[in-house]
Structure 1
């Protein structure tokens, strides 16, 4: 019987796992633009939104261990919950995500891409709050937009979900036009998906 993976792994553990089991799959659940910007060599990009859209099709055709990766760990945890509910096992999450990987000296392939989703959310939230506060000097009820954004950010922190990141993920810059969802899912479910 295959050995169970810990719920989270760090950079050193992934290096050890890759040496011990070359079949380990690193699945990066960030948006394609984020993946294009930087990713762990040999990882596959299967965005979280695709996992949600194709949840009913998720069945593992392999016994390979899977480590889920995102920017800091939040989206990878959501992906693990989703995949476990679909019946997949031998799943782990990279603790600290790409940020932790890089801080621990992990190698990254870099390219042209977009800002990571957390940075995009901070920019949009900051601009909304700033605009609402400035505009409220002319029309006071606009201050409630800033309150709404603050409440949304607080809810996102408590629930570990983010509606704004889902909306931003739909923007053309964060999507790859030629993305074939089934081909990408092949990286997770046993086929050969595109590798970075």
Structure 2
């Protein structure tokens, strides 16, 4: 299923006319950067989306997640007219529309996983080449972990990073 795509300007006009903007990214992504007025309903909770007759515009970072999940998003919106913000929050920013950025929030978990995995692989390769070949095992271990995460959907590194002190939310 394909949903109609709106430009940032058309999205702004629809919002001004009463449409709802739903951010399907994870809570960590939404906390760090968001469009003012966007409601965060992560994709895995999209069934919890409150239904009403107002048009619904879904967005993610680049538009790829929304396009890939169009049927699920349309079903969650019920009978309301449903659209996708073409290019996601990236296109919104490039069009000069307002963004709320909170740099005090930690980086998104997947970015942390990418940085950590890359650093561990590079360290294993350098130590394996310069110190002892056994260090290549570190790179192999990280690679195997990434493959396991891709196949099963469970990422031990992401779970470990989530409990690190810099990712703990301040209690109100």
Question: Do the two structures share a fold, i.e. TM-score over 0.5?
Answer: yes
What's the counterpart of residue 190 of structure 1?
A: none
Deviations 1:81-129, CA, capped at 9 Å, x for gaps: 4333557353322222222211110101233322245633431332232
Unaligned runs of 5+ in 2: none
Q: 1:78 to 1:16 in 2, by over 3 A?
A: same
Q: Indicate if the aligned counterparts of 1:29 and 1:69 stay in contact, CA closer than 8 A.
A: yes
Does residue 39 of structure 2 align to residue 47 of structure 1?
no
- RMSD between aligned residues: 3.8
What's the counterpart of residue 125 of structure 2?
A: 133
Of 6, 10, 13, 1:13 maps to 10
Q: How does 1:81-160 map to 2 (within 5 A)?
A: 81-84=71-74, 88=78, 90-111=81-102, 112-116=104-108, 119-137=111-129, 138=132, 139=134, 140-145=136-141, 147-148=143-144
Deviation for aligned residue 1:26: 0.7
User: Highest Rg: 1 or 2?
Assistant: 2
Deviation for aligned residue 1:25: 0.9
Q: Which moved more, 1:66-75 or 1:136-145?
A: 136-145
Deviation for aligned residue 1:41: 1.0
Q: Indicate if the aligned counterparts of 2:124 and 2:138 stay in contact, CA closer than 8 A.
A: yes
Deviation for aligned residue 1:44: 0.8
Q: Indicate if the aligned counterparts of 1:8 and 1:92 stay in contact, CA closer than 8 A.
A: yes
Deviations 1:4-25, CA, capped at 9 Å, x for gaps: x953222111012223x31x11
Q: Indicate if the aligned counterparts of 1:73 and 1:94 stay in contact, CA closer than 8 A.
A: yes
TM-score by length of 1: 0.60
What's the counterpart of residue 162 of structure 2?
A: 171
Q: How many residues were matched structurally?
A: 159
**Greater relative contact order: 1 or 2 (C-alpha under 8 angstroms, separation 6 or more)?**
1
TM-score by length of 2: 0.67
